[in-house]
């Protein structure tokens, strides 16, 4: 019963029987709930409030969503990234005839000025020098002693995952200095015991120029922790850079593409927006280290790597082109976030923000205008040509851009923000600008600015006629129970809300409490869908629980597999039951207990395109709920499905997703199990869902 998806067989009995799937902890008495919908009172809402916030804070890009299998492929790691790192981090060189003078990291004549380091192997006898990489988290992350040339794993996290019969594209920029003739290099994948999994040969002749050489390796077995080895076959000096190994089976088969299982997991959420490349990541740790989008496009060897503020390295192989292409592939609106000339408030104390000098603001503003031209301009424009040369001559048709992230309202900030905003509005009036309201909700008065960031951020956005305001808050479950009317109180006359980062942290590790609190909050956001354009949970991807436990992210992953949190399944259910008309919904919880009243939620939506109606009920109590649903005489199809996600308790690690047929009608009875979200879909589309 621990599998997330259970067969629909016997689901009708499950749907009708009070108590549903699990016997709950606590009170076994049934809670009586009434849900009444008034189809004479509806309003237009944003169809799908579920979006994705993608930020590379938990090693989500290199070694994660970006499908590259070689760590430090550019030899650009340094102590600036992380203490103790250098150009050889994640690599090792083994020599049969002794290691003295065998290799060095050089900078004299690189491929490109933005990629200044490369490795030189000095080979004095054929087949005696072995250059090895063990994937992300491998060599260099744990000391390796006495390993044989063809075996060994650098650390428990290390290892290159390969699958039997799968093909892998190997490539390297190479230069050979030595004798005339063809000089071959052997490359192979081996398992920890030294068995060959796949191999190929390539060659270079004597030359002073760099040349990209490619080969295909086919694995003959499954292996979760393979090692890549490059072996020169003759003497001479071999210069190598950008050593890459990519699975051919990427998401949509894209070259330089995305890891298939992770991209498909994100696609499975049906996000309406993707916010990228991050929040605090765009600031860096000072204005000089801010994320500059131009440095992430163009040929891979010319992109500018950057120090991550979480103390690791970003190759930016996953750059703006790849982000936009991914959004296009999954049908989501891209929402790029750009810095606005102020560093992150956390870079120098809670109130410190470094400002970009005003004499450099024109350059930053032009950079943002260039981004819009790159995304939307014709292929013969200056920046549209860069996009076209990457393989996308047609515009991406970007509609939104976000300015800044959790900005403190410091002296000088408003001037910079206004300058950028007015420049965009003058040149690209159709672009919808998203401002921001600082690092907290509108009741966060505990910080040094006494909550002014939120109030003044909203005012700045309204004064500059911005379309959206990006709100962020990380709150305990108790806050949600007291704020289930949060957006009911907002003025509808100004910008709309883009909830760019939220997470309701709880004390439990299982994640079901966080998921159901999120569910309750989404009922409220659907009710306010005329105001709330999108909500993106934080974070989306984290490698090896790098930032915490299951409750802290949607998708946790390691080098070869991933797991989806309870919040993932809850949000997926909401996204798959999206409607563009909110139906006025009255909820009557048959209890005088404040605990019960705050832990039951409901919403009703209609999709005008399909005519389908969605009735959604969350029961976060420990009691089964007998739910009477009255659609006020609204004609409905008897064709219906019921999808439920439920658990035995809030710390249950084995919640179950189940879906099956349900008898529809204007009046229905639903048995909502304890700790569950239940969604009824009524309409002809229900049978195809």
What is the three-class DSSP state of 352?
coil
- Better-scored residue on pLDDT, 146 or 214: 214
Indicate which residue of 76, 406, 513, 526 is catalytic.
406
Q: d(Cα 251, Cα 66) in Å, to the nearest integer?
A: 10
* Predicted local confidence at residue 353, as pLDDT: 80
Over 90: is that where the pLDDT of 337 sits?
yes
Closest by CA position to 647, among listed 631, 637, 660, 658:
658
Over 90: is that where the pLDDT of 287 sits?
no
Question: Residue 338 has which token pair?
Answer: 């750009």
* Predicted local confidence at residue 98, as pLDDT: 64
Q: d(Cα 154, Cα 145) in Å, to the nearest integer?
A: 10
Mean pLDDT across the chain, nearest whole number?
A: 89
Which domains does the chain carry? 5-44+579-688 (2.60.40.1180), 50-63+252-501 (3.20.20.80), 91-247 (2.60.120.260)
What is the three-class DSSP state of 263?
helix
pLDDT above 90 covers what percent of the chain?
74
* Predicted local confidence at residue 420, as pLDDT: 98
Over 50: is that where the pLDDT of 145 sits?
no
pLDDT above 70 covers what percent of the chain?
88
Over 60: is that where the pLDDT of 144 sits?
no
* Predicted local confidence at residue 142, as pLDDT: 53
Q: d(Cα 486, Cα 456) in Å, to the nearest integer?
A: 19
* Predicted local confidence at residue 506, as pLDDT: 65
Over 70: is that where the pLDDT of 316 sits?
yes
Over 80: is that where the pLDDT of 505 sits?
no
Contact between 589 and 623 under an 8 Å Cβ cutoff? The reply is no
Find the mean pLDDT for residues 549-560: 78
Provide the whole-model pTM: 0.93
- Better-scored residue on pLDDT, 648 or 311: 648
Q: What angle do CA 310, 314, 320 make, to 5 degrees?
A: 120
- Better-scored residue on pLDDT, 345 or 273: 273
How many CB atoms within 10 Å of residue 168?
25
Closest by CA position to 238, among listed 214, 199, 202:
202
Find the mean pLDDT for residues 11-30: 45
> Residue 384 — very low, low, confident or very high, per pLDDT cuts 50/70/90?
very high
* Predicted local confidence at residue 452, as pLDDT: 85
Lowest-confidence range among 137-151, 184-198, 200-214, 327-341? Answer: 137-151
Q: Is 406 a catalytic residue?
A: yes
* Predicted local confidence at residue 99, as pLDDT: 55
- Better-scored residue on pLDDT, 58 or 238: 238
* Predicted local confidence at residue 509, as pLDDT: 54
Contact between 87 and 136 under an 8 Å Cβ cutoff? The reply is no
Find the mean pLDDT for residues 144-170: 74
Q: What residues form DSSP beta bridges with 50?
A: 535
Q: d(Cα 50, Cα 130) in Å, to the nearest integer?
A: 49
Over 70: is that where the pLDDT of 24 sits?
no
Find the mean pLDDT for residues 474-479: 91
Contact between 119 and 75 under an 8 Å Cβ cutoff? The reply is yes
Find the mean pLDDT for residues 190-207: 93
Find the mean pLDDT for residues 575-604: 96
């Amino acid at each position: 019963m621990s599998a997330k998806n259970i067969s629909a067989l016997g689901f009708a009995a499950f749907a009708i029987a009070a108590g549903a799937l699990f016997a709950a902890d606590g009170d076994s008495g049934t809670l009586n709930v009434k849900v009444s919908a008034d189809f004479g009172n509806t309003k237009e809402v944003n169809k799908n409030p579920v979006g994705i916030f993608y930020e590379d804070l938990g090693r989500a890009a290199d070694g994660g969503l970006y499908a590259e299998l070689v760590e430090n492929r550019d030899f650009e790691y340094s102590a600036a990234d992380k203490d103790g790192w250098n150009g050889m981090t994640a690599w090792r060189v083994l020599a049969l005839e002794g290691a003295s003078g065998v290799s060095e990291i050089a900078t004299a004549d690189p491929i490109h000025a933005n990629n200044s380091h490369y490795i030189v192997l000095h080979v004095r006898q054929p087949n005696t020098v072995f250059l090895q990489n063990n994937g992300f988290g491998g060599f260099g992350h744990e000391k390796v002693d006495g390993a044989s040339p063809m075996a060994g794993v650098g650390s428990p996290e290390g290892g290159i995952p390969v699958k039997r019969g799968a093909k892998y594209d190997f490539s390297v920029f190479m230069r050979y200095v030595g004798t005339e003739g063809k000089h071959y290099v052997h490359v192979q994948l081996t398992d920890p015991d030294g068995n060959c999994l796949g191999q190929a040969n390539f060659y270079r002749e004597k030359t002073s120029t760099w040349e990209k050489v490619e080969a295909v390796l086919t694995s003959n077995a499954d292996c979760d922790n393979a090692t890549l080895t490059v072996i020169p076959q003759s003497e001479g000096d071999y210069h190598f850079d950008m050593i890459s190994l990519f699975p051919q089976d990427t998401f949509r088969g894209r070259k330089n593409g995305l890891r298939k299982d992770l991209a498909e997991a994100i696609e499975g959420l049906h996000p309406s927006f993707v916010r990228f490349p991050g929040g605090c990541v765009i600031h860096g740790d000072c204005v000089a280290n801010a994320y500059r989008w131009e440095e992430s496009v163009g040929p891979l060897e010319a992109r500018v790597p950057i120090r991550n503020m979480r103390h690791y390295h970003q190759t930016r192989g996953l750059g703006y082109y790849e982000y936009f292409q991914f959004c296009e592939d999954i049908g989501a609106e891209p929402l790029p976030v750009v810095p606005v000339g102020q560093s992150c408030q956390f870079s120098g104390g809670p109130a410190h923000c470094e400002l970009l000098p005003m004499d450099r603001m024109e350059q930053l503003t032009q950079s943002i205008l260039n981004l819009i031209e790159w995304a939307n301009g014709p292929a013969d424009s200056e920046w549209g040509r860069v996009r076209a040369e990457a393989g996308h001559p047609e515009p991406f048709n970007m509609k939104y851009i976000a300015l800044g992230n959790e900005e403190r309202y410091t002296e000088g900030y408003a001037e910079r923000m206004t300058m950028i905003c007015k420049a965009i509005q003058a040149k690209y009036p159709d672009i919808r600008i998203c401002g921001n309201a600082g690092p907290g909700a509108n009741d966060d008065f505990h910080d040094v600015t006494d909550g002014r960031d939120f109030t003044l951020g909203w005012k700045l956005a309204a004064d500059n006629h911005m379309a959206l305001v990006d709100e962020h808050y990380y709150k305990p479950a108790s806050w949600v129970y007291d704020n289930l009317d949060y957006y009911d109180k907002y003025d509808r006359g100004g910008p709309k809300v883009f909830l760019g980062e939220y997470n309701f942290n709880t004390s439990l590790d299982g994640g079901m409490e966080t998921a159901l609190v999120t569910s309750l909050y989404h009922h409220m956001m659907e009710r306010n869908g005329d105001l709330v354009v999108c909500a993106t949970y934080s974070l989306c991807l984290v490698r090896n629980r790098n930032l915490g436990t299951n409750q802290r992210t949607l998708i946790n992953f390691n080098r070869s597999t991933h797991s989806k949190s309870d919040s993932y399944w809850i949000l997926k259910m909401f996204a798959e039951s999206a409607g563009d008309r909110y139906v006025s919904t009255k909820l009557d919880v048959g209890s005088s207990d404040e605990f019960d009243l705050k832990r039951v939620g409901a919403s009703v939506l209609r999709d005008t395109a399909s005519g389908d109606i969605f009735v959604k009920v969350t029961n976060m109590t420990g009691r089964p709920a007998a739910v009477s649903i009255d659609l006020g005489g609204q004609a409905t199809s008897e064709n219906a499905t019921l999808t439920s996600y439920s658990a035995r308790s809030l710390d249950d690690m084995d919640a179950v997703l189940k879906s099956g047929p349900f008898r529809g009608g204007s009046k229905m009875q639903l048995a909502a199990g304890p700790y569950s979200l239940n969604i009824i879909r009524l309409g002809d589309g229900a049978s195809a869902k």
